[in-house]
């Protein structure tokens, strides 16, 4: 996979990545502020309870008496006291003054302070004992006076103003693009890692070739498409193909999701579009990949999803940036969506998305190639035939096939196997297609009804099948929402539906209902899903495919594909008389196949009973068992039961367990609870 670019880049203020860490510069500033506060605190003259205030004469006398040691005080000139004014501070020994000292601390030093004018004689005397501090300038006095205020202002700045600026940058970052710049990596995906969509790879690889060698196309007047739109059902590999483009291209690759343009603030989406193209222009030539573009590219106005001013504004900005007066050469847009029907027509025209690449569900060869790619990381046994697995998975997307192998590995691990076997993949396929087995408690009556219902499906299909849709497995173990399942394995991908096969499909669908009626003499609600399926098929035959006497006419307007792979209801554009004819023809088709299924089951009643009894006994039988019952009247192939293997214990553990068990047997004797027999005489 592609990863973010490793080269150091300048951090954008509006970056939405990780929060900004505490920088060493800020830490140094805080240390300076704290140090200055501590220095000011200690620089202030002491004003404790032991401070003695002396007059100048008392100070001179204390110096003469030796109560002040040399270097124990400081003399500082003070012009505010007049000519010769001086402030003297320091410590003195055992002064004869009234201070609050305990008896134990009589000899302790106390602080003193004296202010006044010294004569020249006293000045020379005091200077010999005390240190003289130079007279400070007016600038120094002002600086010292205002230094605390400066420190407080600086503190407020870093605490409040800086935070406000950061908040302002965060608010303005809403308009910044969230596109992530990707670059090649040693583990990046390439076109070799994408299988099952060779045509799409060729379309996209031309863009990569143009970026690598533009002169190859320019010498004959060709120009690269400005946009490539990849569309297809979910799981077919659209995003994977874009990641492969990022791994193959030697140009900057920006990746963004369509939902990243939408925010709670008005105008943010348009601003992010402009910023995204601005980044692309700075790094041109480059590729910008927009995943799920239908989030912002929906049709404007009262179309699907209704109108939305913010989304339309974002779309308009995208349209202008892609092909406006200010066109951007070298910025190629690759978008992916599974909703091409809801995209705006202005977005799909040439000049914006010049090339539209459809990535459909893979065919047989495509599924085989996809399985080979994903099987590289799975431990498969030698018996696994991936071509057979591909044949058994029609309609599976690339994501489904990857999930199939992963589920097979999980099932094999559950059974304590060292490698994935073929039956593990079969069980994984059934789990994905029909749901996980549910050991739902059913009484004998429900199990019997379910057994005959599924046997009816399997028997009818085995009789009417033309070899293209044989029975794969029949089970009465509940899966998903059904109490039982009959699974088929097509021999090839069915691209077209013939009338004969559709009628056989309807007949098979009514087989379960017919079996209930024949055996039980009653019908249940278990055939509700079958009834919906056959009715839908019959309606398609009448209204869409023109396979009835009503002629090759499409009844109903063109049906809107609200989602790729699903069909929504079309509007009624025919008369009531025609509607009655349609309903009658649909009824006749279903009723005829219902009667046909009853005839088939009555003709093979013995096989029906045998198959139902086998299901009640074994719960699951394979397609070959169905054919054997129909041909020979009994099952001749064995039923393979899956048993969870016990993990092999370590040798040391086995020895210890054997020894402990032997000792326990010696102590207790027979484990059956009876006394151990006495040893027989020799």
Sequential DSSP letters for 459-471: HHHHHH--SSS-E
Is 450 in contact with 484 (CB distance < 8 Å)? yes
Q: Could you count the other beta carbons within 10 Å of the beta carbon of residue 2? A: 22
- 426-447: burial string, b at 16+ Cβ within 10 Å, e else: bbbbbbbbbeebeeeeeeeeeb
Pairwise CA distance, residues 210 & 518, whole Å: 69
| Residue of 454, 516, 517, 628 marked catalytic | 454
Is residue 195 within 8 Å of 374, Cβ to Cβ?
no
Please list the alpha-helical segments (H only) found in 233-308. 238-248, 268-282
Structure tokens at 530: 């079958």
Q: What is the DSSP string of 443-501?
A: -HHHHHHHHHHHHHHHHHHHHH--SSS-EEEEE-S-BTTBS-EEEE--SS---S--HHH
Q: Is 380 helix (H, G, I), strand (E, B) or coil?
A: strand
Q: Are strands 471-475 and 485-488 parallel, antiparallel or unpaired?
A: antiparallel
Q: Residues near 22 by Cβ (< 8 Å), separated by ≥ 6?
A: none
Rounded CA-CA distance 434/484 in Å is 10
- As a whole number of angstroms, the distance between CA 275 and CA 273 comes to 5
Query: Rounded to an integer, what distance in angstroms lies between the CA atom of residue 28 and that of residue 40?
Result: 18
Closest listed residue to residue 377, CA positions, set 411, 414, 402: 402
454 an active-site residue?
A: yes
Q: How many residues appear in the chain?
A: 682
Helices 511-520 and 528-543: crossing angle in degrees, nearest 10, is 140
Structure tokens at 28: 């140094």
Structure-derived torsion over alpha carbons of residues 154, 160, 163, 164, reported in degrees to the nearest 10: -120
**Partners of 415 in the β-ladder:** none
DSSP-derived pairing of the beta strands 3-4 and 180-183: antiparallel
DSSP codes, 189-212:
--GGG--S-HHHHHHHHHHHHHHH
Positions annotated as catalytic residues are 454
């Amino acid at each position: 996979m592609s990863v973010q670019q490793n080269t150091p880049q300048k951090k954008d203020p509006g970056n939405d990545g990780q929060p900004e860490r505490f920088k060493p510069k800020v830490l140094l500033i805080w240390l300076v502020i704290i140090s200055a506060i501590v220095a000011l605190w200690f620089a202030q003259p002491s004003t404790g309870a032991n401070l003695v205030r002396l007059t100048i004469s008392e100070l001179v006398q204390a110096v003469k008496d030796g109560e002040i040691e040399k270097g124990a005080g400081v003399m500082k000139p003070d012009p505010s006291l007049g000519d010769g004014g001086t402030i003297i501070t320091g410590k003195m020994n055992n002064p004869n003054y009234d201070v609050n000292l305990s008896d134990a601390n009589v000899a302790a030093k106390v602080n003193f302070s004296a202010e006044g004018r010294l004569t020249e004689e006293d000045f020379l005397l005091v200077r010999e004992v005390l240190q003289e501090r130079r007279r400070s300038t007016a600038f120094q006095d002002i600086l010292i006076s205002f230094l605390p205020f400066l420190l407080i202002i600086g503190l407020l700045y870093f605490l409040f103003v800086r935070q406000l600026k950061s908040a302002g940058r965060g608010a303005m970052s809403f308009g910044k693009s969230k596109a992530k710049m990707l670059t090649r990596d040693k583990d990046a995906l390439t076109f070799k890692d994408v299988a099952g969509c060779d045509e799409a790879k060729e379309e996209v690889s031309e863009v990569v070739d143009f970026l690598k060698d533009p002169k190859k196309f320019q010498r004959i007047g060709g120009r690269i498409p400005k946009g490539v739109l990849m569309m297809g059902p979910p799981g077919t590999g659209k995003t994977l193909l874009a990641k492969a483009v990022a791994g193959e291209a030697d140009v900057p690759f920006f990746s963004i999701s369509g939902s990243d343009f939408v925010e709670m603030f008005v105008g943010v989406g348009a601003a992010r579009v402009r910023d995204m193209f601005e980044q692309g222009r700075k790094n041109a030539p480059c590729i910008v990949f927009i995943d799920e573009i239908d989030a912002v590219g929906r049709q404007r106005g009262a179309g699907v999803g209704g109108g939305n001013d913010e989304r339309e504004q974002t779309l308009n900005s995208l349209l202008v940036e892609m092909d406006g007066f200010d066109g951007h050469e070298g910025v190629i847009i690759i978008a992916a969506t599974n909703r091409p029907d809801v995209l705006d027509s202005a977005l799909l025209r040439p000049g914006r998305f010049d090339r539209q690449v459809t990535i459909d569900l893979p065919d047989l060869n495509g599924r085989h190639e996809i399985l080979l790619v994903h099987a590289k990381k799975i431990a498969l046994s030698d018996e696994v035939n991936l071509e057979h697995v591909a044949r058994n998975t029609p309609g599976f997307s690339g994501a489904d096939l990857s999930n199939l192998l992963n589920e097979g590995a999980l099932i094999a691990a559950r059974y304590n196997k060292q490698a994935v076997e073929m039956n593990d993949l079969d069980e994984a396929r059934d789990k994905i297609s029909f749901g996980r087995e549910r050991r739902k408690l059913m009484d004998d009556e429900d199990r019997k009804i379910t057994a005959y219902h599924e046997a009816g499906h399997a028997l009818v299909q085995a009789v009417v099948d033309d070899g293209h849709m044989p029975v794969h497995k029949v089970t009465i173990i509940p899966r998903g929402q059904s109490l039982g399942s009959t699974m088929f394995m097509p021999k090839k991908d069915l691209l077209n539906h013939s009338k004969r096969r559709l009628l056989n499909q309807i007949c098979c669908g009514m087989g379960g209902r017919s079996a209930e009626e024949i055996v039980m003499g009653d019908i249940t609600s278990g055939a509700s899903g079958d009834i919906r399926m056959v009715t839908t098929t019959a309606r398609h035959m009448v209204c869409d495919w023109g396979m009835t006497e009503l002629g090759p006419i499409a009844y109903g307007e063109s049906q809107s594909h609200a989602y790729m792979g699903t069909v929504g209801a079309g509007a009624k554009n025919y008369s009531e008389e025609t509607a009655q004819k349609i309903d009658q023809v649909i009824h006749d088709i279903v009723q005829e196949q219902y009667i046909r299924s009853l005839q088939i089951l009555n003709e093979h009643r013995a096989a029906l009973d045998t198959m139902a009894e086998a299901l009640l006994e074994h719960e699951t039988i394979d397609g070959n068992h169905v054919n054997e019952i129909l041909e020979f009247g009994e099952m001749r192939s064995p039923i393979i039961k899956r048993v969870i293997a016990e993990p092999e214990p370590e040798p040391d553990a086995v020895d210890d367990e054997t020894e402990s068990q032997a000792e326990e047997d010696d102590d207790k004797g027979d484990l059956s609870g009876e006394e151990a027999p006495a040893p027989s005489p020799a």
